[in-house]
Each structure stands twice: as C-alpha cells, then as structure tokens.
Amino acid sequence: MGMTTPLKRARGLGSAHEGADHFIKQRVTGAIIVVLSAFAIGMIVHLAGADLARVKATFANPLVAAALIALILATAVHMRLGMQVIIEDYVHGEFSKMLLLLANTVFSGAIALVSVFAVLKLSFGG
C-alpha cells in the first residue's frame, strides 16, 4: 500500500503538479527540432556558394520562412523547458528560483523574437 491518495492516483500528477506535460513538451519540441534542423542544414548546403539573389529568392518563399520560424520557436521553447528543469533542480532559494525562472522566460522570448524578426526581414527582402 502506497502513501498516495486515490485522488492523486486518479489525477496522475507528480510532485510538480504537472504530470507528464513537461516531459511530453520536451520530447515533442525535440522531435520537431530534429526534423526542421535537417531541413535547415539541407537548405544551407543547397545555398552554399549561391549568389545573393538566389539566397533572397529562397528566403522569400513563405514555406521556407515558416519552417525556419517553426524551428526558432520550437528551439526557444525547448531551451526554456530545459533550463527550467535545471533551475528547479539546482536552485534552492525560492526568491532566486523565481528570478531565474523569470529571466529564463524573458531570455528565451527575446532570442525567439530577434530570430523571428531576422527571418521575416530576410523573407520580405529587407
């Protein structure tokens, strides 16, 4: 007989009260990153040595821009989730933990925002 109440077993939540949600998000974003990174690497190899007009034409394709933006967003979410686990596991002061989690979210969002802006700028010929 375990120490778990029937309600806790029914909800399936662990000590973080998130259940498997965090685990699943990390695995899904990781899988998305693998697929889209293969696309991005293939695009870089394809464009190696190309002139500026060809590179601009490639980035002007909305499917290329959408794939790169999806890669950026998945990477930013994956990075935030990974750092969140590290902060929660190794920072013991509640105030420090809260500040670092906030900084982690802001940093991840800023990286994503700047990167998406760069892709959009290239896509619209800026």
Q: What pLDDT, on the 0 to 100 scale, is given for residue 88?
A: 92
Q: Which domains does the chain have, with CATH numbers?
A: 20-123 (1.20.1300.10)
Beta-carbon count within 10 A of 34 CB: 10
Q: Residue 107: helix, strand or coil by DSSP?
A: helix
Q: What pLDDT, on the 0 to 100 scale, is given for residue 40?
A: 96
pTM score, whole prediction:
0.82
Please work out, in degrees rounded to the nearest 5, the angle formed at the alpha carbon of residue 21 by the alpha carbons of 63 and 75.
35
Q: What pLDDT, on the 0 to 100 scale, is given for residue 20?
A: 82
Tell me: the pLDDT tens digits for 90-126? 999 999 999 999 999 999 999 999 999 999 999 997 6
Could you tell me the pLDDT band of residue 80, with boundaries at 50, 70 and 90?
A: very high
More confident call, 2 vs 56 = 56
Q: What pLDDT, on the 0 to 100 scale, is given for residue 81?
A: 96
